[in-house]
Structure 1
Amino acid sequence: MLEALETQDVLGDGLITADALRGAGMNAHAVGLLVRRGELRRLRRGWYALGTKWQACGLDGQYRLFTRATAGAAKRPLVLSHHSAAAMHGLPLIGAWPVTVHALVPDAHGGSSHRLVTTHCAVADPNATLIAGVAVTSLARTLVDIAAGCSFLTGVTMIDHVLHQESRRVVPGAGNPGVPAITKAVLFAELDAVRPRTGRQAAERAITFADELSANAGESLSRVRFEELKFQIPELQVRFDVAGRSYFVDYFWRGVRKIGEFDGHTKYTRAAVMNGKDVVGVVLAEKDRESVLRPFVTSFNRWGWNLALNAVEFYRFLCEKGVPRTR
């Protein structure tokens, strides 16, 4: 039985349809038993995933599976947009994914929301692309839709991520082949083409504020908090040269010589960052780095997700640490 499920999982690239299960000789009773035992996970009517895969892929992957299943079950082809397109493009989200799938309906008179699908009336995307067999808005269009229709934090986080990735993918003057980089200019041009009915100013604000030097979602969250709580926006990724070595810090308030760093703990778990070292070795290296830099600044402060997500506590923390306010 499990071998048959794994075969269907491979054939469906993670998705298993009720028709495929029936074709493998399983009736409704057998499928229900597999769901109750956790070997199958029901995504929506007629669509399933392996229970082990569902558990392993995390919240981002789970929403992508649900999105693909809903698109596959649609009576007419969907062009996924907004959060659903963002998930398919692998963009980061701080907070929960929606409970519906978002799609463009260019010929509709207005957006609507059904139990599993939320539609948006907007101009069609001529650059829509296929990801895992599903049509989604282009990366630039997705960012513009998110920036115009979602919170400032969500827009900045996703745009930061793309600008950072694109700056590393396409190095100026290196003769990089392939698709041109997505830049702020590209996003502003896309915004002009889309002409959203609402949210244009919100999109302009998010695009303007975004920064390719923001290396992860936690750093983006912190910068948004600085902006919202009326603290000065620091310089990003500032280099310190000490004793023949170069050190880069997340945030630097040059006027008061303060260093700030977001510590999301990924450096203690990700293999690419660990580079064969144990956790103790990485932690000690971070402490040594901090000790090297402290004599050159007035303070060196760290914070993590829990503090940055709590606006009230983060405000108190920044005030206590003497982070300068905006004028």
Structure 2
Amino acid sequence: MTEILDSYGVFRNGLISAEALRASGMTTYTVHRLTLRGELARVRRGWYVLGKHWTDARPDERYRLCVRATAAEATTELVLSHHSAAVMHGLPLIGPWPATVHALCPDAAGGSSHRLLTSHRNRGDLNPVTIAGVTVTSLTRTVVDMAVGSSFLIGVTMVDHVLHQEAVRRQREKRTGLHGSPPITKDVLLTELDAVQPRVGRRAAERAITFANGLSANAGESLSRVRFEELGFEVPELQVRFVVQGRTYFVDYFWRGVRKIGEFDGALKYSRGEVMAGRDVVGVVMAEKNRENILRPKVISFTRWGWDLAYDARAFAQFLTEQNVPRARRR
């Protein structure tokens, strides 16, 4: 089937329109049968993808397809925002992606929600960008909108991600001497927040932006740090450097007052090419264990945890207490 569809040029970066399927000679009945057999998957009314593409796609990839299909189906050009802009920018989300597509509608009398499209009566974005043929709010505006309208956890996770990526970009530019756009910093985000002037959620956004830290290298590390804050534990230093036998090691968390190292172990790290470097999982795990053995004599204690534990706030609080993680001082 793929060869037949290819010959008619029906693919639109993975998406297939119902109109293109009809033009290729397929009837409604044929499309229905292909869908039942799993050879096609319906993204939304009027848009499909190959079944294997949909089956193999991660939740963020499925939502991205839905966003692109909805934008393509719209009768007027949409400026997508919030979760929809976030997924197009590649921002991480802890929790499920929404079922609807979000767009700015500054001229509307109020925000509205339909089955597939949620519009927001926010100020328009003066600097929208185009990603994969879809117009979305700028990265700065997207992060601010998410910090305003989402939980502290989601806001911190996204701001952490952007600050971390910007730090990586600055390091690369310093090495190469090739400089791009000005970096996105906390001050830049707070300035954008002033420009947006949200009716509600301003203090929540300020809190998330202020708490954020670009030293958090992934969403799991951000999740853990948010849990420390919310559960009343001391927020540790991040990416602290240890030099042992002439070699340098950086640890995720370090509680200096009690000489304690904390490490977040996400399952994803054991499937990423830059971490695996051609090694098998056993080899990577053994390397991590050896690293821990080298660092343990330099501290009083060393604690590890993963996604499931950090996500369950009650279980994580009990775990941190049992591991003697220090409590935060009363503010």
**TM > 0.5 fold call:** yes
Name the CA distance, whole Å, in 1 between partners of 2:239 and 2:185: 19
Alignment match, 1:218: 220
* Structure 1 residues 304 and 92: alpha-carbon distance in aligned structure 2, compared to 1, 3 A threshold: same
Alignment match, 1:31: 31
Per-residue deviation at 1:6? 4.2
Alignment match, 2:250: 248
* Segment of structure 1 superposing worse, 163-172 or 190-199: 163-172
Alignment match, 1:227: 229
CA contact (8 A) 1:5 1:50 kept: no
1:188-225 CA deviation, whole Å, 9 max, x = no partner?
11111111111000000000001000000000000000
Name the CA distance, whole Å, in 1 between partners of 2:148 and 2:6: 41
Q: Which runs of 5+ in 1 are unaligned?
A: none
Per-residue deviation at 1:10? 6.7
Alignment match, 2:304: 302
- TM alignment of 1:67-82, pairs within 5 A: 67-82=67-82
Alignment match, 2:129: 129
Q: Which of 201, 208, 211 in structure 2 is aligned with 1:209?
A: 211
Alignment match, 2:55: 55
Name the CA distance, whole Å, in 2 between partners of 1:5 and 1:160: 42
* Structure 1 residues 273 and 173: alpha-carbon distance in aligned structure 2, compared to 1, 3 A threshold: closer
Quote the sequence identity (%).
65
* Structure 1 residues 219 and 8: alpha-carbon distance in aligned structure 2, compared to 1, 3 A threshold: farther
CA contact (8 A) 1:222 1:308 kept: yes
Alignment match, 1:236: 238
Name the CA distance, whole Å, in 1 between partners of 2:6 and 2:217: 37
SS across alignment from 2:257: coil
Alignment match, 1:144: 144
Alignment match, 2:266: 264
Name the CA distance, whole Å, in 2 between partners of 1:324 and 1:318: 8
CA contact (8 A) 1:261 1:301 kept: yes
CA contact (8 A) 2:10 2:21 kept: no
CA contact (8 A) 1:9 1:16 kept: no
Alignment match, 1:324: 326
CA contact (8 A) 1:9 1:15 kept: no
Amino acid at match of 1:99: A
Normalising by structure 1, report the TM-score: 0.97
Amino acid at match of 1:167: A
SS across alignment from 1:239: strand
Q: Which runs of 5+ in 2 are unaligned?
A: none
Name the CA distance, whole Å, in 2 between partners of 1:154 and 1:9: 39
Q: Which of 275, 281, 284 in structure 1 is aligned with 2:283?
A: 281
Amino acid at match of 1:245: R
Per-residue deviation at 1:45? 1.1
1:100-141 CA deviation, whole Å, 9 max, x = no partner?
000000111110100100000011101101111110000000
Normalising by structure 2, report the TM-score: 0.96
Alignment match, 1:195: 197
CA contact (8 A) 2:10 2:20 kept: no
Alignment match, 1:182: 184
Name the CA distance, whole Å, in 2 between partners of 1:33 and 1:234: 56
Name the CA distance, whole Å, in 2 between partners of 1:145 and 1:37: 40
